[in-house]
C-alpha cells in the first residue's frame, strides 16, 4: 500500500520550487476567513446543537501572561511582572467556564484538557489549583483524558513540576528554542543547559507520560554547527515529542521582533541545511516524522495515531482526539465545533466587557457550509496521514470524489509529475519527498487561499 507514514526525504530542488506561502491548516477554513458576522448568539445556538452529536470535549485555557518578552514570539501575550493581573483574569475565566458549561450536555466527557499561553506557570500554585478545581467542578473528565500544560522552564523548580503532576497534569511541554548562549541572548531567553536538563529530569521523576520540546530554526546567529549541537543535546534529553518550528520574521506584524537584528538571521541556504540535518539526525535517533515540524517516538500516541490513521489537527496542532469538539476559554482562544469556529476577544478589556454583559465572549468566527466540511476532511487527512483514500471521503459525504474534485485532480497531475504525490484510482499518496511540502499539496483543495492574490501566510520551509 505504498510508503510508510514516517518516511521523509529532503529534496532540495522540490523545496526550492514549492516553498511558497501556505496555511498551516490548524483549521479549514483558516482564521483568515473569520468575520465579526459570527457573534455570541450564533455560537450559543451552535453549542446547543452540538449537544445532539454528543461528541467528547477538548478544553483549552489561554493564560496570556509572561514575565519577560521573548523577541521571536508571535503569540498573543501580555508582558507584566505585576502578578496581581492574574486574579481578575481568573475571576472572568471562572465566569466564562460557568456560562459555557451551562450550555453543554453534562454527559459529554472531557478527553483533552490543555493550558497554553503565554506562561501558565506564571500563576502561583493556589491560582493553578483553583482553576483546575473549577474546571473539574463544571466538567466530567474521562479517566484516560490527556491533561497537558505548557511551562516556561526558567520559572519552575522541582517542587513546581511535582505539584503539576499531583494536580492531575500528565503531559508537559516547554520551549528550548536553542541551546546556544549567543542565540539565547539575541532573543532574550537565557536558559542554561543545566536548567533544561534538570526540568526534564524532574518531569521524568514526577511521572509525566509525555514531554514535548519546542525548538526554532532561523533565529539570529544560528549556524549549521550551532544548531547541530542543539539537536544533539535535545536527543540526549530524550523527550517523547519534538517540534522544530521555522522562525517567521514578521516585525511589521509582531513589533517584539523589531528587537532582532535582521542581518544576524541565517540566510535561506543555511536554514535549508539546518532543516536537512535536523530531519536526518532525529530520524536516525529513532524519532518518527509526524508532519510539517513535528517528530515523536514510535510508541508515542501521536505516532501510534498516525499509523492507525486517527491523527487529527486543530488550533493546538496535531492531536489524537479526532472526534472531540474544542472549546477555548480566555482571551483570544478559539473554539472549533463541527460546523462553526469562534474566537474570543483578543483584548482583555473587551473579553471582560462581554462577560460582564452576560454574553459569551465571541468576537468573530466562521460558519462552515457543506463544501467546507468536505474540503476540511480532505485537507486534514492529507496533513495527518500523507494519504487520502477516496472511498472514505465518498462514504462520509455522499459524493463521487473524482467528479466533485475534477478541477483539483487536474491540478494534482503537476504535483505528481514533480514527484510530490502518487495518484492511484482509489487514493492519493504523498511521497517521502512531498511530505515536507504537505501544506503546498493541501492548498490544492483550499478554495479560499487559491482565490486570494495576496498571500499572508508563512512559507512552508
Q: Which residues pair with 115 in a beta bridge?
A: 61, 149
**Range with the largest mean pLDDT of 1-15, 233-247, 313-327:** 233-247
Which domains can be identified in the chain, with CATH numbers? 1-29+369-452 (1.10.10.920), 31-326 (3.80.30.20)
Name the band, by pLDDT with cuts 50, 70 and 90, for residue 241: very high
Q: Which of 329, 379, 341, 404 is nearest to 64 (CA)?
A: 329
Distance from C-alpha of 198 to C-alpha of 46, rounded to nearest angstrom? 46
Q: Give yes or no for a cis peptide into 118 (omega within 30° of 0).
A: yes
Grid cell 454527559 is found at 107
How many other CB atoms are there within 10 angstroms of residue 152's CB atom?
21
Buried b (16+ CB within 10 A) or exposed e, 425-452: eebbbbbbbbbbbbbbbbbbbbebbeee
How many other CB atoms are there within 10 angstroms of residue 361's CB atom?
28
Percent pLDDT > 90 in the chain is 85
> What pLDDT is recorded for position 334?
97
User: Is the CB of residue 259 less than 8 Å from the CB of residue 71?
Assistant: yes
Distance from C-alpha of 179 to C-alpha of 163, rounded to nearest angstrom? 27
User: Is the CB of residue 62 less than 8 Å from the CB of residue 334?
Assistant: no
Query: What DSSP assignment string belongs to 185-215?
Result: HHTT----HHHHHHHHHHHHHHT-SEEEEEE
Residue 4 pLDDT more than 70?
A: no
How many other CB atoms are there within 10 angstroms of residue 399's CB atom?
15
User: Is the CB of residue 323 less than 8 Å from the CB of residue 57?
Assistant: no
Q: What is the pLDDT of residues 137-176, one digit of tens each?
A: 999 999 999 999 999 999 999 999 999 999 999 999 999 9
Q: Which of 280, 273, 194, 259 is nearest to 226 (CA)?
A: 273
Grid coordinates belonging to 200: 526534564
User: Is the CB of residue 433 less than 8 Å from the CB of residue 419?
Assistant: yes
By the 10 Å C-beta count (0-12 exposed, 13-18 middle, 19+ buried), 119 is classed as buried
User: Is the CB of residue 174 less than 8 Å from the CB of residue 199?
Assistant: yes
Grid coordinates belonging to 231: 539537536
Distance from C-alpha of 28 to C-alpha of 344, rounded to nearest angstrom? 18
Grid coordinates belonging to 114: 490543555
Q: What is the pLDDT of residues 347-376, one digit of tens each?
A: 999 999 999 999 999 999 999 999 999 999
Distance from C-alpha of 303 to C-alpha of 321, rounded to nearest angstrom? 13
Amino acid at each position: 500500500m505504498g510508503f510508510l507514514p514516517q518516511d521523509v526525504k529532503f529534496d532540495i530542488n522540490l523545496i526550492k520550487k514549492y516553498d511558497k506561502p501556505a496555511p498551516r491548516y490548524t483549521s479549514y477554513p483558516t482564521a483568515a476567513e473569520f468575520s465579526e458576522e459570527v457573534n455570541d448568539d450564533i455560537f450559543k445556538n451552535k453549542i446547543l446543537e452540538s449537544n445532539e452529536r454528543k461528541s467528547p470535549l477538548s478544553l483549552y485555557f489561554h493564560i496570556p501572561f509572561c514575565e519577560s518578552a521573548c523577541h521571536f514570539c508571535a503569540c498573543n501575550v501580555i508582558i507584566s511582572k505585576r502578578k496581581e493581573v492574574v486574579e481578575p483574569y481568573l475571576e472572568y475565566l471562572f465566569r466564562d467556564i460557568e456560562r459555557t458549561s451551562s450550555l453543554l450536555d453534562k454527559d459529554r466527557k472531557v478527553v483533552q484538557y490543555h493550558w497554553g499561553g503565554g506562561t501558565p506557570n506564571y500563576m502561583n500554585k493556589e491560582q493553578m489549583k483553583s482553576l483546575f478545581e473549577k474546571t473539574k467542578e463544571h466538567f466530567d473528565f474521562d479517566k484516560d483524558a490527556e491533561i497537558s500544560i505548557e511551562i516556561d522552564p526558567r520559572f519552575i523548580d522541582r517542587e513546581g513540576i511535582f505539584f503539576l503532576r499531583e494536580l492531575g497534569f500528565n503531559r508537559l511541554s516547554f520551549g528550548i528554542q536553542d541551546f546556544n548562549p549567543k542565540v539565547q541572548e539575541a532573543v532574550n531567553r537565557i536558559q542554561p543547559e543545566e536548567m533544561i536538563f534538570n526540568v526534564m529530569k524532574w518531569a521524568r521523576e514526577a511521572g509525566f507520560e509525555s514531554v514535548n520540546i519546542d525548538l526554532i530554526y532561523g533565529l539570529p546567529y544560528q549556524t549549521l554547527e550551532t544548531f547541530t549541537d542543539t539537536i544533539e543535546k535535545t536527543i540526549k534529553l530524550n523527550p517523547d515529542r519534538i517540534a522544530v518550528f521555522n522562525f517567521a520574521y514578521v516585525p511589521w506584524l509582531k513589533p517584539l521582533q523589531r528587537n532582532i537584528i535582521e542581518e544576524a538571521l541565517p540566510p535561506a541556504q543555511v536554514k535549508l541545511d539546518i532543516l536537512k540535518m535536523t530531519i536526518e539526525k532525529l530520524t536516525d535517533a529513532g524519532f518518527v516524522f509526524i508532519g510539517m515540524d513535528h517528530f515523536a517516538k514510535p510508541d508515542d500516541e501521536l505516532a501510534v495515531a498516525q499509523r492507525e490513521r486517527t491523527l487529527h489537527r486543530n488550533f493546538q496542532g496535531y492531536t489524537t482526539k479526532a472526534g472531540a469538539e474544542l472549546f477555548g476559554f480566555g482571551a483570544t482562544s478559539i473554539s472549533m465545533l463541527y460546523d462553526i469556529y469562534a474566537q474570543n476577544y483578543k483584548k482583555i478589556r473587551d473579553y471582560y466587557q462581554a462577560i460582564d454583559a452576560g454574553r459569551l465572549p465571541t468576537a468573530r468566527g466562521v460558519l462552515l457550509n457543506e463544501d467546507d466540511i468536505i474540503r476540511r476532511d480532505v485537507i486534514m487527512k492529507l496533513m495527518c496521514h500523507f494519504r487520502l483514500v477516496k472511498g472514505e471521503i465518498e462514504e462520509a459525504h455522499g459524493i463521487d470524489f473524482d467528479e466533485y474534485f475534477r478541477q483539483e485532480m487536474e491540478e494534482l497531475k503537476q504535483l505528481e509529475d514533480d514527484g510530490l504525490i502518487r495518484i492511484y484510482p482509489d487514493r492519493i499518496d504523498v511521497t517521502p519527498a512531498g511530505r515536507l511540502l504537505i501544506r503546498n499539496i493541501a492548498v490544492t483543495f483550499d478554495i479560499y487561499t487559491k482565490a486570494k492574490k495576496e498571500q499572508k501566510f508563512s512559507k512552508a520551509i
